[in-house]
Chains A and B, each alone.
Chain A
Amino acid sequence: MMMLSRLKHDLTMAEAARTPGGARVDLVVVADMVEPGAKVLDVGCGDGELLRLLAETRGVDGRGIELSREGVNECVAKGLAVIQGDADTDLADYPDDAFDYVILSQTLQATRQPRVVLEHMLRIGRRAIVSFPNFGHWRIRMQVFFRGRMPRTDNLPYAWYDSPNIHFCTIKDFRELCLVAGAKMEKAVALNPWGAPLRLNAPWWFWNMLGEQAVFRLSRRA
């Protein structure tokens, strides 16, 4: 029950694996996909950890949208260019090709319309980067299979009835979304529970079983 009392923006994964430098591993993977100096929009930027990492390590011109007021105000007080807004409704206001990269980090599963959000991301940015928890991971499958209950893990601690996460998917499911949304997969990385990338040439079923999280870099299909 301790978990339930945690703030919603703990969705930024306080429990997540970190590098020796203290940066969240999944964010480092995302940052590595961004070329230095790019113009970046981070959708669902939380307390601004990724924007800060991107500014410090890649020198990007970063902007953010965040739903929670506390998150926004914390970001703005840090000097980050962040606005209060909702990925589901406010991406429509951005013009085409406004950014080099639009990033959706650990937020896809909390959107009401993941497909619409992804389509907007690919319209606003030349490229999109999406990271999400893989619901096909074996531990999650085991929980459903053996316990017959909705799964809960360190990174996804919520009970089903008060979870902000309403659209979980597996790596395979996400590949299907990319097809229907007109996205070309440029790069993909799956991370094991300790934050280490899985073998690059492994088949998709292997990633889908052993990857706890996935990070995809996408572009528009020509």
Chain B
Amino acid sequence: MAEVGVTLDTASRAREADDPHSHVVQFRAEQPLRLDAGVALAPFQIAYQTYGTLNSARTNAILVCHALTGDQHVANMHPVTGKSGWWETMVGPGRPIDTERYFVICPNVLGACMGTTGPASTNPRTGKPWGLEFPMITIRDMVRAQAMLLDHLGIDSLFSVAGGSMGGMQVLQWAASYPQRVFSALPLACSTRHSAQNIAFHEVGRQAVMADPEWQGGRYFAAGTNPRRGLAVARMGAHITYLSDAALHRKFGRRFQDRDNPTFTFDADFQVESYLRHQGISFVERFDANSYLYLTRAMDYFDLAADYDGVLANAFKHTPTRFCVVSFTSDWLFPTSDSRAIVHALNAGGARVSFAEIVTDKGHDAFLLDEPELFAIVRGFLDGAAKARGLPTVPR
């Protein structure tokens, strides 16, 4: 890891946390967010991006929920990395989530580091970054905050809520918490609860961050350090879980990186090592280590059925929402059996549900990648829902 030496501009990242390149809504002290942890967060802010135009009846809004390490920059250039948006294949003009037809909103989640209040944001009481003084948050808290954003935007009912992985958890929470506000829901590659294996992987990632001496008990901003090595290792480990054995083999096999023979050192001899190191390094450029701790924790705590006497079907009883659940054959982080459990609960609740499993070797990350079958399914599902909602087929 010797070459993890990318200039990490702590100041500019802190700026992005407080003063992002996005729309921002500030919620004042008298509009607190009541958290599951039993405390109120106030004041706080939400950063979000929008695409397309809200129709006059306010019926064409789609909320996109991002995953653990995603952010609100769905379909525009990322202000920190300069890369294209993380879901540009799915969201945009003429894309399955067609911004010529729908109004797309993507907020940065609570606890993240791209402008919505999180541990990297400045705590107004101290004038310093929150760090570990930031209260513990849950998926439900994220969704509560998003509901406040929609209230602010004057959107009573969403045409759809879509997202994969942690975004899918938010979709499910939306449907359970606010069924009357969700006309249709697209939970992709997700689960109603984090498995023991997934909690275990997250714990390894958190321990990697906390084992980095530069983490400084979470007060690295004050110490002028940054646990970039720990966070990079966490990202490397997690990234393996987003792929699959078959995909790694197809992409890298046992091939060497820029050399013909092993060097008999701990250099990145193998292409797969080089790739993972790159993933780790590029991640720490744009992500806050404490945010990673908080968001992984929120996913670990997610257990939708627990809020409904342990019966998942009760979460969706008499739901008016139409669902389209999608899983991927090679996803071992959120396997098809997790999606099936969602479908069973929805059926038991009498919900209108579609469920498709897509054959791919791309693993969990398949929901972010070029999967024509996924695009066809999302497009078809939204078309059907739009017809039922009476949205015009032709762009405004």
Which residues in A have some Cβ–Cβ distance to B below 8 Å?
61, 63, 69, 72-73, 75-85, 93-95, 98
Contact = CB atoms under 8 A, between A and B. Distances in A.
A82 B354 CA distance: 5
Closest 4 CB pairs of A and B: A79-B384, A77-B380, A83-B355, A77-B376
Contact of B359 (A69, A80, A83, A93): A69
A80 B344 contact: no
A80 B357 contact: no
Contact of B354 (A61, A83, A94): A83
Nearest to B326: A76
Contact of A76 (B347, B359, B380): B380
- Which of A63, A84, A85, A94 has its CB near the most chain B CB atoms (within 10 A)? A84
Given A69-B359, A83-B343, A76 B348 contact: no
A63 B352 contact: yes
Contact of A73 (B350, B377, B384, B387): B377
Interface in B87-115: none
18 contacts: A72-B355, A72-B357, A73-B356, A73-B373, A76-B355, A76-B356, A77-B379, A77-B380, A77-B381, A79-B384, A80-B384, A81-B352, A83-B343, A83-B355, A84-B355, A84-B357, A95-B350, A98-B347
Contacts of A69: 356-357, 359
A73 B356 CA distance: 6
B383 interface: yes
B353 interface: yes
Contacts of A63: 352-353
A94 B356 contact: no
A122 B352 CA distance: 20
A78 B387 CA distance: 12
Given A94-B347, A94-B348, A98-B350, A79 B357 contact: no
Contacts of A78: 380, 384
B353 A73 contact: no
Given A79-B381, A79-B383, A84-B355, 14 more contacts: A73-B358, A73-B373, A73-B376, A76-B354, A76-B356, A78-B384, A80-B354, A81-B352, A81-B354, A83-B353, A93-B344, A93-B347, A94-B347, A95-B350
Nearest to B358: A73
Nearest to B336: A84
Contacts, number: 63
A95 B316 CA distance: 13
Contact of B324 (A61, A76, A95): A76
Contacts of A61: 352
A94 B355 CA distance: 15
B385 interface: yes
B328 to A, nearest CB: 12
Nearest to A83: B355
Contact of A79 (B353, B358, B359, B385): B385
Nearest to B375: A77
A85 B340 CA distance: 9
B364 interface: no
Interface in B14-66: none
B322 interface: yes
Contacts of B354: 75-76, 80-83
Interface in B298-331: 322, 324-325
- Which of B352, B354, B380 has its CB near the most chain A CB atoms (within 10 A)? B354
B356 A84 contact: yes
A213 B348 CA distance: 33
B202 to A, nearest CB: 29
A73 B358 CA distance: 8
Nearest to A63: B352
Contact of A72 (B322, B356, B387): B356
A72 B381 CA distance: 12
A85 B339 CA distance: 12
Interface in B353-396: 353-359, 373, 376-377, 379-381, 383-385, 387
A62 to B, nearest CB: 9
A70 B19 CA distance: 47
Contacts of A75: 354
Nearest to A39: B350
- Which of A77, A81, A85, A93 has its CB near the most chain B CB atoms (within 10 A)? A77
Contacts of A85: 343, 355
A77 B373 CA distance: 8
- Which of B357, B377, B383 has its CB near the most chain A CB atoms (within 10 A)? B377
B356 to A, nearest CB: 5
Nearest to B388: A79
A95 B373 contact: no
A79 B352 contact: no
B150 to A, nearest CB: 25
Nearest to B327: A84
Contacts of B343: 83, 85
A82 B348 CA distance: 15
B317 to A, nearest CB: 10
